[in-house]
Amino acid sequence: MPRGSTDVLVVGAGLAGLHTAAQLARRGHDVVLVDRRRRLTEAIRTTGIFVRRTLEDYDLPEDCLGPPIRRMVLHPPSHRDPVDLVSTRDEFRVGDMPRLYARLHQQALDAGARVLLGMRRAGLDAAGRQVLRRVSAGDGSGGSTSGGDGEELPAELRLDARFLVGADGARSQVARDLGLDRNRHLLIGAETVGAVADVGQMPAFRCVVDPRIAPGYLAWAVDDGVHSHVGTAGRSDRFTGGVRAALERFAAEAPGPHGRPAAETLEHRAGPIPVGGLLRRIGAPGGLLVGDAAGAVSPLTAGGLDPCLRLSDHAVELLDEALSTGDRRVLRGYDGAALRRRFRGRLALRQGLESLRGPAAAEAAFLGLRSAPGVRPPGGSSSATGPSRIRDRPAGDRRGRGLSPARPPASGRRRRRPPDRPESAR
């Protein structure tokens, strides 16, 4: 049974919450991690595409990652003359997310965090204690409620927490309770995951720019020879008939390897994606926000896995200092400025993507894309359909990105990217 007080209550056991809780526990702090899901292997809200930048900087378990992907293909609505890019390096790997969440859950427990699943943070009581309520059996999430040690939890728990961390996703309740900023610009995304047999074709990440199936964003089809992910995302007010109907239309014609039998559907995933850029007020003396709750998602690509790890590292540094010194004011330094700077140019590009209101506009945008620098086909002709190269950034463009930790990383981890390394696409 969990004790009635803790140093830090982390709400939400997605990637941001799991990473934050494990790092804080490794530094010797008392941490409670709570999630309303009974099993972290269910109700997943991500495709799980990790970019090179993350793969190089974080020790993600090898057996939780699919084969490397070097090829990216951008399709216009007509699917004619797509822009085909092949890198000399491994650019993406798709995470086996149920396995990865299970592994990170175990790592948090091993580090000493108390993990309460099937418990929802309901708010604060009159004495300022955190109120956690067991999720009722009829809510569809299944499984049993357990607290790491397998013990059954009571229907309600009240907890004194010195600090609160909101890792509770795009529609964060913790943000509201701490008086912090909340996400206003959200896309809605949905995908199906299927198992495929490896037929020896080059794994590829395909994106389709078509406002009819992905209004204001992109549809994607990823096939790494193990799993296929077919999904779409866009502005909910612009989907005709809803995101599910758009996904079904897209799935019926999604680009991919010819002659391959359709993948058996294993799973459906869906969720909101904050794309307004990192929020301004994400820290207060009582706690802070990480991951989607803080808007830590690239506004252009809607990639949130890399930013959520980096912002969590930054949060851990400041919480560690506040807990060690007793000085809550250090949390005022938590603003994610480096990440916000990184997102600035992408916000402008996403406005460009949103302005494509019909297939003709998207086709016209591809005319420019095919002749863009860095999208040169081998023969030099911008109209060729053969693979071209994802060009490395010129040396002069290698400005620093991300939130590198102030402390040296714990032993056994790879060194984080120094500030002058290039950033990757997502």
Contact residues: ligand FAD, CB under 6 A: 11-17, 34-37, 45-49, 120-121, 167-169, 173, 189, 191, 231, 269-271, 273, 291-292, 297, 302-306, 308, 426
Judged by beta carbon, residue 275 or residue 377, the one nearer ligand FAD is 275
Give me the least distance between CB of 320 and ligand FAD, in Å please.
20
User: How far is Cα 72 from Cα 78, in angstroms, rounded to an integer?
Assistant: 17
Structure-block tokens of residue 398: 């290698």
Q: CB 167 → ligand FAD: shortest distance, Å? A: 5
422: nearest Cα among 390, 406, 398:
398
- Calculate the alpha carbon distances from 46 to 14, 95, 189, 229, 400 in Å: 10, 10, 9, 10, 27
H helix or E strand, kind and range, residue 133:
strand 130-134
Cβ nearer to ligand FAD, comparing 153 with 370? 153
Interatomic CA distance for residues 110 and 118, integer angstroms: 20
> Which residues pair with residue 269 across a beta bridge?
191
CB of 214 to ligand FAD, least distance (A): 12
CB nearer ligand FAD, residue 299 or residue 304: 304
Q: Which is nearer to ligand FAD, 34 or 196 (CB)?
A: 34
- In the block, tokens 């997943």 appear at 44
Q: How far is the CB of 209 from ligand FAD (least distance, A)?
A: 17
Min dist. Cβ of residue 5 to ligand FAD (A) = 19
What type of residue is 377? Answer: P
Residue with tokens 């969720």: 271
Q: Which two tokens stand for residue 301?
A: 């690509």
Residue 135's contacts (CB-CB under 8 Å, 6 or more residues apart) are 36, 38, 118, 119, 120, 141, 145
Look up residue 307 and give its two tokens: 């930013």
- C-beta of 118 vs 255, nearer to ligand FAD: 118
User: Shortest distance, CB of residue 120 to ligand FAD, whole angstroms?
Assistant: 4
Minimum CB separation of residue 197 from ligand FAD in Å reads 22
- Report phi then psi at 264, rounded to 5: -70, 130
Q: What angle do CA 34, 338, 274 make, to 5 degrees?
A: 50
Q: Which is nearer to ligand FAD, 11 or 323 (CB)?
A: 11
Q: Quote the tokens at residue 55.
A: 């793969």
Q: How far is the CB of 200 from ligand FAD (least distance, A)?
A: 24
Is the Cβ of residue 211 or residue 291 nearer to ligand FAD in the bound state? 291
Residue sitting closest to ligand FAD (CB):
304
- Cβ closer to ligand FAD: 141 or 382? 141
Instruction: Say if residues 286 and 162 touch (Cβ distance below 8 Å).
Output: no
